[in-house]
Chain A
Amino acid sequence: MTEPAVHPRNRTWMAKLEFHLTRVESIVAIAGLVLLLGLTLAEIGARNFFHSSIPGADVLDRYLVLWVSFLGAVLAVRDRHIKIDAVAVWFPDAWRRRLERPIFLFSSVVCGILFWAAARFWREEWLYAPAAERWITMLAVIIPLSFFLLTAHFALRFLIGPRAPGRS
């Protein structure tokens, strides 16, 4: 059996960087979801069988949802985001591929500005957080981090270029 041919665009350093980033992000996101399920189950068990609760689990659960969701949003960059492409769906495939680069650039710029706002907000929170609550602020780092990753992924997609013809 012959190996499937690798498209030249997938051999560039940008494509490799995107691949490795996606791999790390998916590992962290999956681990977050497994932990969320395990923790919520343990809480139900502790509450019903031992009439007690796991300290800090409630806060950790809520932030785990943010980690899972925002990393999921990063992983959805390659054509899994919800769109209202009421006009674009009627375009021929070649036109839609031509639109991809400007869309990725626009998305990268918007996410970049949101990253800048999120990073400043998080820094302020970190500086003024009481020592006992620093761990919660640390968990909230996912917001600026995910906007940074979204900016990077959209920028990489912009540089790598449109998907191969016929791929959706």
Chain B
Amino acid sequence: MMLVTLMLLVTVAALGVPLFVVLGAGSLIAAHAAGLDPAVLIVEMMRLASSPNLMAIPLFTLAGVALSRGGAPQRLLGMFNAGFGWMPGGLAIVAIVSCAFFTAFSGASGVTILALGGLLYPILTGENYSKKFSLGLLTSSGSLGLLFPPSLAILLYGIVAGVSIEQLFVAGIVPGVVLLAMLAVYSAIVSRRIGVARRPFSLTALVTTTRQGVWDLLLPVGIVGGLLGGYVTATEAATCSAAYALLLETVIHRNLRSAAQLREIFLETVVLVGSLLIILGVALGLTNLLIDAQVPMKILALMERDVHSQLHFLLLLNIFLLAVGCLMDIFSAIVVVVPLILPLAQRFGVDPVHLGIVFLANLEIGYLTPPVGINLFLASQRFRAPVLSLFRASLPFLLIMLVWLALITYLPGLSLWWKKI
């Protein structure tokens, strides 16, 4: 009976029923099967009101939406182009760094490809990069900044797993930089092989573009500095970011001047946050019922028969999460899967902060894998190319990301170096 219900729910989800409705239906069925009043689901939902960190989500989202509507992608692109464009593979590196920055503060919702892809694609192909390389690069760059502050995915993981958001933000920096470096090296090699001409460095261009973009750059720097120095909490950083972004776009750059533009920004924020947090609210009830039914404990008992080491567990975790990443979007996966795997990871001695970085890295790769890799669909829409050809174009980048995943999974020091300071 349980299996039939589960299959029915998977079918309605695959047909396009909103995820929160699917989880709500699952929770109602589970409560009914356990002989409980469905009001228990509402009790769990009310727990959202006791999470002080939850406030950071709408405020960081507001900052991201204001910056992206106010022209931050173009300013960052100009600045990084002047700063890195002269290097071998310079333009590809510019694309990687700009996309990473933009993804971090636009909430990793996939808008990077829509916002920056269209700007970068003609520039890359115009400089002799092949169509295939350019499409692969831009499709895979859409989720690069997922581990950098103030990524919404990190915030959500911290809230769901009950892990310090400040520690997660710090832990994500080195793994994120390692990935950017690996992709930059690959791009430099490709650019040398195809003979892309190097451009001269211009100090004037760097100064001019930095004057424009430095204010945007200060935001992630300020967040990391504030959190590392212990000057602000994640919630305070979110409040300051939102106020700063609005001030930047309305007073300094003056790109957002009308009340209608501001209304659009607030409305977009509200809808983005709503579509995310209602899943969290409904899933809290469902995961609580699953924990009451000892589901994680049963999985653990099954695993303990065959899995005897942390390395073995991490390997299985990677395979499982890559499969999850192929089928679920990152936010749903965090809400649904994290409560189930957290007790297992703790049993095998995996640090919850390290688990968070590994979890998000797997799902970052999931953005590039069919059938529901969102980057493939957004890139397909943006560049008018078939999903499968985009997947083929992204394969070299995907392979690099898999090597990177192995590095950060089996070298926890990359994520946890700060614990030794």
Q: Which A residues lie at the B interface, using CB under 8 A? A: 26, 29-30, 32-34, 36-37, 40-41, 44, 58, 61-63, 65-66, 68-76, 80-90, 96, 99, 103, 106-107, 110-111, 113-114, 116-118, 120-122, 124, 140, 143
Residue B46 lies at the interface, judged by CB distance under 8 Å to chain A: yes
Nearest-neighbor residue (CB-CB) of B49 within chain A: A62
B272/A72 in contact, CB under 8 A: yes
Known contacts A83-B19, A84-B327; 15 further A-B pairs (Cβ under 8 A): A30-B266, A34-B266, A37-B239, A41-B239, A41-B243, A44-B236, A72-B274, A84-B328, A85-B16, A87-B14, A88-B15, A106-B12, A114-B282, A118-B45, A124-B39
Once the chains bind, are B21 and A110 in contact (CB under 8 Å)?
yes
Report if B288 contacts A (CB, 8 A). no
With A70-B278, A110-B24, A113-B28 as known contacts, state yes or no: A75 contacts B46, CB within 8 Å: no
A36 near B55: Cβ-Cβ < 8 Å = yes
Closest to B22 in A: A84
Chain B residue, CB-CB nearest to A144: B42
Interface string of B11-31 (1 = CB under 8 A from A): 011111111111011001000
Q: Are B19 and A40 in contact (CB under 8 A)?
A: no
CA distance A89 to B371 in the complex (A): 9
Residue numbers in A under 8 Å from B15 (CB-CB) = 85, 87-88, 99, 103
Beta-carbon nearest neighbor of B372 in chain A: A86
B15 (CB) vs chain A CBs: closest residue:
A88
Q: Given A65-B55, A114-B38, are A72 and B371 neighbors across the interface (CB < 8 Å)?
A: no
Bound Cα distance A83, B243 (Å) = 31
Q: Check B276 against A106 for contact (C-beta < 8 Å).
A: no
Bound: A83/B17 CA distance, A: 6
Q: Is the CB of B14 within 8 A of A44?
A: no
CB closest residue in chain A, given B28? A113
| Nearest neighbor of B233 in chain A, beta-carbon distance | A44
With A120-B39, A143-B46 known as contacts, the answer to whether A30 contacts B276 (CB < 8 A) is no
Report B321 CB to chain A, min CB distance, Å: 15
Nearest A residue to B240 by beta-carbon distance?
A44
Other-chain contact of A103, B17, B51, B55 (Cβ < 8 Å): B17
Contacts of A83 in B (CB 8 A): 13, 16-19
Bound CA–CA A26/B236 (angstroms): 26
Collect the chain B residues with CB atoms within 8 Å of residue A34's CB: 266
Whether A40 touches B332, Cβ cut-off 8 Å, given contacts A73-B278, A76-B271, A117-B37, is no
Tell me the complex Cα distance, A144–B41, Å: 12
Q: Is the CB of A33 within 8 A of B58?
A: yes
Distance, CA A139 to CA B59, complexed state (A): 20
Contact B277 A72 (CB under 8 A): yes
Mark interface residues in B253-292 (1 if CB within 8 Å of A CB, else 0): 0000000000100110111111111110110000000000
Residue contact A40 to B16, C-beta cutoff 8 Å? no
In Å, the complex CA distance between A71 and B58 comes to 13
Shortest beta-carbon distance from A38 to chain B in Å: 9
- Can you list 10 A-B pairs with a CB-CB distance of less than 8 A? A26-B267, A33-B270, A62-B55, A68-B58, A69-B277, A81-B21, A82-B20, A83-B18, A84-B332, A103-B12
Instruction: Give the distance in Å from the alpha carbon of A36 to the alpha carbon of B54 in the complex.
Output: 12
Query: B91: CB under 8 A from chain A?
Result: no
Q: Counting CB contacts under 8 A, is B62 at the interface? A: yes
| B280 smallest CB distance to A (angstroms) | 9
A82 near B274 (CB under 8 angstroms)? no
**Chain B positions within 8 Å of A69 at CB level:** 48, 58, 273-274, 276-278, 281
Minimum Cβ distance to chain B for residue A3 (Å): 20
Q: How far is the CA of A33 from the CA of B24 in the complex (A)?
A: 26
A40 near B41 with CB under 8 A, answer no
Query: Which residues of A are found within 8 Å of B59, using beta-carbon distances?
Result: 36-37, 40
Q: Is B331 among interface residues, defined by CB-CB distance under 8 A?
A: yes
Closest 7 CB pairs of A and B: A72-B274, A81-B18, A73-B278, A69-B277, A85-B16, A73-B274, A117-B38
Question: How many Å lie between the Cα of A87 and that of B11 in the bound state?
Answer: 9
Q: Report the bound CA distance from A106 to B58 in whole Å.
A: 29
For A125, the closest partner residue in chain B by CB is B46
- Contact residues in B for A103 (Cβ distance below 8 Å): 12, 15-17
B169 within 8 A of A: no
A34 to B246 CA separation, bound complex (whole angstroms): 12
Question: Do B17 and A107 touch across chains, with their CB atoms under 8 A apart?
Answer: yes
Whether B62 and A37, one on each chain, are in contact in the complex, defined by CB atoms closer than 8 angstroms, is yes
Are B271 and A80 touching (Cβ within 8 A)? yes
Residues 282-304 of B at the A interface (beta carbon under 8 Å):
282
B residues near A117, Cβ cutoff 8 Å = 37-39, 41-42
**Given contacts A33-B270, A117-B38, is CB(A82)–CB(B48) below 8 Å?**
no
B275 touches A106 (CB 8 A): no
State whether B235 touches A72 (Cβ < 8 A).
no
